[in-house]
Amino acid sequence: MKLNLFVILFTIVLIGCGVAAGTLGGFDRITFPTSKRALVVAIDSLYAQHPEYKIPDKWKREDDWKSRGYDFLDSRIFYFMKQPEEMYYVSFYGDANDSVQVDSTATAIAIRAVYNGSTYNWTKEGDLNSSEEKRMQKRFKEEIISKLEKYTNTKSTHE
């Protein structure tokens, strides 16, 4: 009886902390005042005009999000060759029930995890110090978001 109660309480605590659920969290939410379709076209244009942002062959095995159970997220990965070499796993914010995704006049994305090759796993926001998080947000804004704003002819907002 005591063991069952302990197991139940332990499970509740894990779920409450997001450990058992495997939640990703996310960095700042970046919202574009445009449809998701327009933003997807902009991302495809970015990859076409800047193929250096595509995952290199040496790190393709790290794109294992489907096997991790995150195939429900509509996501993209952006690779940065210049030091520090890293990749950002970015997903569209929300799902079909989220007003941001249902609203065809606004679409949001967020970095969900970072991979730098020196660890054997993706790093989530909560595992980074604030200076690293700020550096990554700045890099993402300067290298990716600025281009997406040009392709969509919009100005994004950050939350």
pLDDT of 103 reads 58
Confidence of residue 114 (pLDDT cuts 50, 70, 90): very high
Contact assessment for residue 92 and residue 108, using Cβ atoms and an 8 Å cutoff: yes
**Structural domain boundaries in the chain:** 24-158
- Name the CATH topology of 24-158: TATA-Binding Protein (3.30.310)
Q: pLDDT for 64-101, tens place per residue? A: 777 777 676 788 999 999 999 999 999 998 544 454 45
Strands 75-80 and 30-32: unpaired
| Cβ within 8 Å of residue 5, ≥6 positions away | none
